Amino acid sequence: MVSGINFTKRMLENLELPKKRTRYADIGGTNSVRGLGLDVTPSGDKTFRYVQKVNGRNVKVTIGKFPEITVELARSHARDIAQQIAGGINPNVEKRKKRNADTFNDLFTIYEELFKLDIKAGKRRESSLTSSKTLYRLHLKAKVGNTPIDNFTKADAKQLLNRILSEKGYSLHNHALTLLKSMFNRADVPTNPFGTLKKIDESYHRRQRTLSPEELQRLFKSLDQEQEVYQDCVLLLLLTGQRKATVLSMEWREINRENQTWSIPTSKIKSKKPHVVPLTSEAMAILERRAKSSPRGEEFVFPSRRSQSGHITDKSGKGGFWRRITERAGLYNSDPEKNLQVHDLRRTLATYQVSSGGSLQATSKLLGHSNVSITSDVYAHLSVDIVRQELEQTTNYMLGGQESSDLDKLKQEISSLNPEDKQQLLEFLSKELSHSRFNN
């Protein structure tokens, strides 16, 4: 949306904040400059830009933000830019030459250098830069690394992201979009072809895989055949509900045995303060066992002399311990949607906690989510069954005039079980009845 007004200091100061980005054109004043505009965002940012059509395409040049750049100075810059364009010079190309950013590889170099400054300032983490470098190297460099950014359009951006989506899925699509947006923004490129593109809503694709009680038993049986270090690692993944990277790199200094807590530092998580994880007696027993076998001065709970990091790692291929464990348990599948992944242990713990009546707030705190709404979005559907059970009891009480008996409540609970749990319950009752008949 474009509205025409005469630019004055008072007029621009008193502009109401729009609900969406709005462009105002400098029109109607004695000194107005054709092509000069002010982009206003809902957050209150006001940016002067000059726009002129050249050979059927808009050349957009960012001048600066108001009020740091005055109306008079913005108009002066706009006239200079108009003269440059009239002389066959593209101001944006000249800017990029000064920044030495002609290709996507150049943009990433600038991104990396500025990111390193943020790390030194304590604003970002080293691991985040490592992730960005890996993403760019494996999935973007071959596709667009040497591509000039001058003529890279929004249509080209969509085509690139659609290709990533079809080849690698929605998660990588979203990560790539975030990185590419940031690369253009950090290099201060006037036109960002990725700027208005949206992430794919992950809720439509969110993975739901969890372990059933029967599958858990198969997993435990398979773990019994593993080395103790891998047994303990997998069990702590399940019992703490934390992410793989933080469990694999768990350090003894992070464990408080007296309080039975594990404090994960901000260097390992996306948080501004450490995440404190309560440790159950079972988790503490595992840590005590590991402590007894740990050499004096050992840094990691799960050390490895063969790993460059100093702790055990999990290869994604056939040689990894997770692949070995899941294959033996009959839980490996070549179909990624059906295959059991390490992260599914975290989801399994959270699912069982919510399904057994645990609050979303407590589950959110355990998982280290920054906001309970994230947990609610993922696990709220599980609490519906709990609400339904309580509502059934309330309804029966209101309509029947008396509280449900313990047997009625038990029947309701049994009816909500899945088929596998019902089968196990049936086998248990059969044994109990046979035992009772024998004793009688």
Encoded amino acid at 200, one letter: I
Judged against a pLDDT cut of 60, whether residue 238 lies above it is answered with yes
- E strands, 265-338, are 275-278
The pair of structure tokens assigned to 42 is 């809902």
Q: How far apart are CA 210 and CA 215, in angstroms?
A: 9
**CA–CA dist 393, 105 (Å, integer):** 64
Q: What is the dihedral of CA 160, 163, 167, 170, to 10 degrees?
A: 70
- CB atoms < 10 A from the CB of 430, how many? 10
Q: How many helices (H) and strands (E) would you count in the chain?
A: 18, 8
Q: How many CA within 13 A on the CB side of residue 74? A: 32
User: How far is C-alpha 394 from the chain's CA centre?
Assistant: 40
- For the segment 332-379, what is each residue's pLDDT rounded down to a tens digit? 988 877 889 999 999 888 888 877 777 777 777 887 776 666 566 666
- pLDDT tens figures, 158-215: 999 999 988 888 889 999 999 999 999 888 787 889 988 999 876 555 677 889 999 9
Mean pLDDT, the chain, integer:
84
- Structural domains of the chain, ranges and CATH numbers in brackets: 2-89 (3.30.160.390), 104-204 (1.10.150), 213-349 (1.10.443.10)
Rounded Cα–Cα distance for residues 429 and 425 (Å): 6
Tokens linked to 298: 């050992």
Q: Could you give the count of Cα atoms lying within 13 Å of 194 in the half-sphere of its Cβ?
A: 22
Instruction: With cut-offs at 50, 70 and 90, classify the pLDDT of residue 404.
Output: low
Q: Which of 117-121, 339-343, 420-424 has the lowest mean pLDDT?
A: 420-424
Helix/strand/coil for 177: helix
pLDDT in tens, 275-326: 999 999 999 999 999 999 999 899 999 999 888 889 999 876 677 899 999 9
From residue 57, give the alpha-carbon distance in Å to each of 27, 52, 60, 156.
22, 8, 9, 15
pTM, entire model: 0.54
Q: Beta strand 2-5 with 22-26: parallel, antiparallel or unpaired?
A: parallel
Structure-token pair, residue 154: 């929004």
Looking at residue 336, its pLDDT comes to 74
